[in-house]
Structure 1
Amino acid sequence: MSTRQRIEVKTTQRLHLSAALHSSIRLLKADAAGLTRFLEEQAAENPALLLSPPPPGDWLPRWDILFRSADPVPDRLETAPASLISHVSDWIARQSLSPADARIALALTEALEPSGWLGQPLETIAAEASAPLPQVRAILQRLQRIDPPGLFARDLAECLRLQAQAEDPVDPVLLALIENLDLVARADLPRLAARIGLPEAEIALAIRRLRRLNPKPGAQFDGLAAPIREPDLIARRGPEGWTLSLNRSSLPGIDIRPGRGQGQGAARALLRLIEARNSTLLRVGGEILRHQAEALDHGPTRLLPLTMAEVASALDLHESTVSRVVSGTSVDTPRGTIWLRALFSARMGDGNNPGLSAHALRARIADLIASEDRSHPLTDDTLARTLSATGAVIARRTVAKYREMQGIPPAHRRRQRG
């Protein structure tokens, strides 16, 4: 048998991710904290890339607005089963407390808000527990050692102070800033520098460290609410509707060293990627807010059905791009900081409710049960009829399914006898 060599020409296609495309995808998925770390890594490798501390922003003052009193934390777009109480209860169970101290600890635990703060004055808790106020204070100090630091705080300053004192070593500049939160909220660097006795540049760096503390440590036990941190976006209601802006105070300033030299091209390319990332983030966030303006105005019961495919189609983007952008992105609203992803909700499974989302239905069911007469709780059938009377045609089994998803027991288990 003879063999013969021959040349064949074949056309093949292969997907190759260039370094620029890989960096672009990484930046789209990064939140503010992740992007800051990435920029710091790049600046350490590229002398042409210059970073400066972020400018003082207007997010920190809203800490005091959100938590200025013992009022409940403003509604968020989702209420998840609370596990904060079980976390605290497990810690208390491992302590060797006397029956009297255990009763006080239980009363303090019952006064916890979802934020991790105490929702009642100590005098009220002491009266309800029939315990001396000094003893209640002593138990409170023990409970304030529970991890994460900041639980059982009575105000913003105490919450931040507990976290600062838990650091090793303790930062005295951070403690000094916490004692002057009014000046921090106004970004009054000159007065802070004069009062603390440090240059303004060091004060600005310390404020950045302060922003990393969590004024709402209990929120991490809520699966859908965004942890309070430097949000990526800020949404505000203006005369012409909702507006969205980047939270500039969460990112360092970026500049390129003047002149020519090694790394100039890479630094300019990175700057273009950052600008593209920010532009895409604003476009996607703005389209989501345009759809969900009613939910931001009135709460989760007004959340409309919305999918990532619909947002992608409206912006002429790929659905995977929208998914990467909303992954881990938080937006600060007057109702609190929430995940951007939480503003998506599936449409009801039947065609009888084209404008009703599953998320909104769960919120309506929870609201009706929260306001019911506990001596005559609402059955699933009654809930279905009530919702159907408002225009949402809902079957009893659907109500039961969404009630169970929220961990709400059936009517016979919610009944309370007077």
Structure 2
Amino acid sequence: MTSGSHGAQGRRYVLTAVIGNVVEYYDLVIYSYFSASIARIFFPSHLSFSQIGLALATFGFTLLARPVGAYVLGGYADRKGRLPGLTACMALMAAGGVLIALCPDYESIGYAAPCLIVFARLLQGFSLGGEFGVATSFLIEHAPHHEAKRASWQAVGQISASLCACCVVLTLSGLMTSDAYAAYGFRIAAMLGSLGGLVGLALRYSLGRRDHLPVARPSPAEERTWLRILLVMGMVSLGSGITYLGFYMPHYAQSVFHVSVRATYWAAFATYAGQLVLTPLRWRLAAYFDRTKRIYPMLLSCLGLMILPVLLVEWVPWTPALVLCAPLVLNVLGLFYFASLDGYMGLLFGSAHRGRGLSVGYSLGVALFGGMAPMLNGAVINLTGLQGVPGYYVLATALLAAISVGMGRRFLKKDVASSVDADRSAI
């Protein structure tokens, strides 16, 4: 096979693996932007709970279903192969997306509307539980000695998806009247995500029919698998903390400084675009980790993310510009951590157990540190009156991430060579 064919094949592998994560993050951002519209469209207004509260609770159901999907779909991918696992994840994700986009409103079908939305979100959560771990396993097992750089495409896909979602929201809000935007802007945005899911399903199915890749040979359970899963949970906590802060800051800017909603959209656009511009640096950092397996850049990044939030909260007067720029600043500083993270986590497991181990650790980490963040931060803010609590949450997750990375090094040193050899035999 020519080098050009190798390059084309590699690009096809990347797109096949990353497209599920792209759809996931697109849906995540769209749902957060349209939460008020979703509340009005699908939920009754006469209950004691607020409509928006119900809509956000439904959003949280995704996190509850993730660990179950991680165990089932991750194990399925370990037994049957990465491509069958990826196809199953994408089929469930696409089905949930289409159901949300086409679901009739509450005025048309009554309580069946919120029930269908809840079912669709649970279906998507189950799918997403296996998506990251299986896709990351697929990426790194097709790139011996370049695992972190290839796995970093997951983060690039997430950022690109968030940027696309932001562009869709800006475009629709600019072209549509306010009434039309509130009535069916969400359906247009959701349908675009559903189409992406269907394209991803077709791509994964097509690749699965062309390439019959062997499955990694079964092996005994790895030593201290539970500890590896706990370490992955700790490693993803930092990303969950920064993501939550990114969602909280626009709300804070609107409620305290009365910044317009559209201004927060542009701030989000700048955050995602700024991260995307730094993709070459991300790849250089990931390549450095592939060559050396050194974790010093990751630890230094964690240290910076312990110090910077305290400076922002305690010593820097908060202004609208600072509030809206804080997510970008934190993500740029965190780049030295996140560039190698996905590959690092994947290499904690041998190939025969990587799908389930990585999926379960990632899903539990997101559910615990991401799902609990709004409730925990909100409770502390109400109790203390301190609006800077989310900054301290980032500090705490950065400390936990640094400890987890340091502890994980023993498994990485012990297993990296045998893991790569096993991956080669499985390809």
TM-score, normalization: structure 2? 0.27
Between structures 1 and 2, the one with greater strand share? 1
- Tell me which structure has the larger Cα radius of gyration: 1
- Greater helix percent: which structure? 2
TM-score after normalising by structure 1: 0.27
More RCO (CA 8 Å, sep 6+):
2
